[in-house]
Amino acid sequence: MGSSGFSMSSTYGSLFDASCTTCQLSVDKSAYWVPSLYYVSQDGKNFTSVTQNGGSLMYYLFRRDNDQIPLVAFPEGFRMVTGSPYYRSDQGTLESQALSWACIDYSIAGTPQTGYIPDRNCPDNLRMQLVFPSCWDGVNLDSSDHKSHGICILGDHLIVVAYPSLVDNGVCPSTHPVRLVTLFYEVEWQIQDFANMWYNSTHPFVLSTGDPTGYGLHGDFQNGWDVDILQDALNTCNASSGAISDCPVFTNVTNQNGGSCSIGIS
């Protein structure tokens, strides 16, 4: 989702200079990525893409341990990843707490959430939920794995970002004192379309990365914002509604970009 300049080798420049974006804000040329979800046939030979419902939501949360700490815009060239396609179990880390699945069923109270794809049908969509780290060392824009959620340097591996103490809130480690705006992704999938196609007691779905558990959920972010505009928004947009349409910094808010923008359009 996002800039039409997204590619295997996209840079800040290629994202920022792209002609369009699928985001509501035309000035947001960032790239947002999650793995797709597939239904697997009983013989394991056929894969059917599960419909993504209504696009996705990327929240910019103004979270920090106190209001006196300034929120900093993502700098040019900044990119990060949360999660890993290789995880197949809870890692017992803040990162694992930041990745979850919500089985939406409006006929019951509450929404069950798990770290894995649940073994039940979700009649009102299955939602991916990802919280990105928001504590930055203030120096490095990237590392060899585009993330790191520890607080030390291992060999030549740069530790760039870390989670605050409460995952989406709380205190940053002293090694990562710069507080970025918190990114939170929500992406919903219509697994109810396959409700009559289950063939045993476990779910029949797999992520595009090959993970059938859901613990390998992960997300990517590459900054494509005009940094000054985003910083202005972080400094001035404090409407209680939280709606981007109530932010005076943004003048072009639309729901029409998604249908008219795709990779390759110039």
pLDDT band (50, 70, 90) for residue 144:
low
How high is the pLDDT of residue 255?
67
Q: What is the token pair recorded at 248?
A: 């005076």
pLDDT band (50, 70, 90) for residue 258:
low
How high is the pLDDT of residue 147?
54
Please, which residues bridge with residue 224 across strands? Answer: none
For residue 129, is pLDDT > 60? yes
How high is the pLDDT of residue 173?
93
Domain count, the chain: 2
Picking from 98, 185, 166, 181, the residue whose alpha carbon sits closest to that of residue 136 is 181
Can you tell me the distance from the alpha carbon of 182 to that of 205, in angstroms, rounded to the nearest whole number? 29
For residues 23 and 39, membership in a common domain is answered with no
For residue 208, is pLDDT > 90? yes
pLDDT band (50, 70, 90) for residue 33:
very high
Per-residue pLDDT averaged across 73-100, rounded? 95
Domain range for residue 48? 35-223
For residues 64 and 93, membership in a common domain is answered with yes
Picking from 44, 85, 115, the residue whose alpha carbon sits closest to that of residue 210 is 85
For residues 16 and 41, membership in a common domain is answered with no
For residues 195 and 105, membership in a common domain is answered with yes
For residues 111 and 2, membership in a common domain is answered with no
Name the strand (E) or helix (H) holding 231: helix 227-236
Can you tell me the distance from the alpha carbon of 48 to that of 44, in angstroms, rounded to the nearest whole number? 11
Picking from 38, 35, 31, 80, the residue whose alpha carbon sits closest to that of residue 58 is 31
For residues 243 and 175, membership in a common domain is answered with no
Q: Which residue has the higher pLDDT, 266 or 195?
A: 195
Continuous H helices in 91-208 = 94-97
Can you tell me the distance from the alpha carbon of 57 to that of 91, in angstroms, rounded to the nearest whole number? 26
| Beta carbons within 8 Å of 15's beta carbon, 6+ residues apart | 2, 3, 5, 6, 29, 30, 31, 222, 223, 224
The verdict on residue 228 lying in a domain is no
For residues 129 and 249, membership in a common domain is answered with no
The fraction of the chain above a pLDDT of 90, given in percent, is 74
The verdict on residue 229 lying in a domain is no
pLDDT band (50, 70, 90) for residue 153:
very low
For residues 20 and 40, membership in a common domain is answered with no
For residues 1 and 88, membership in a common domain is answered with no
The pLDDT mean for the chain works out to 89
For residue 162, is pLDDT > 80? yes
pLDDT band (50, 70, 90) for residue 55:
confident
How high is the pLDDT of residue 145?
55
For residues 69 and 127, membership in a common domain is answered with yes
| pLDDT tens for each residue of 192-205 | 999 999 999 999 99
How high is the pLDDT of residue 257?
60
Question: pTM of the entire structure?
Answer: 0.90
pLDDT band (50, 70, 90) for residue 149:
very low
CB crowding 61-84: b at 16 or more within 10 Å, else e:
bebbeeeeeebbbbbeebbbbbbb
For residues 10 and 123, membership in a common domain is answered with no
Can you tell me the distance from the alpha carbon of 85 to that of 207, in angstroms, rounded to the nearest whole number? 9
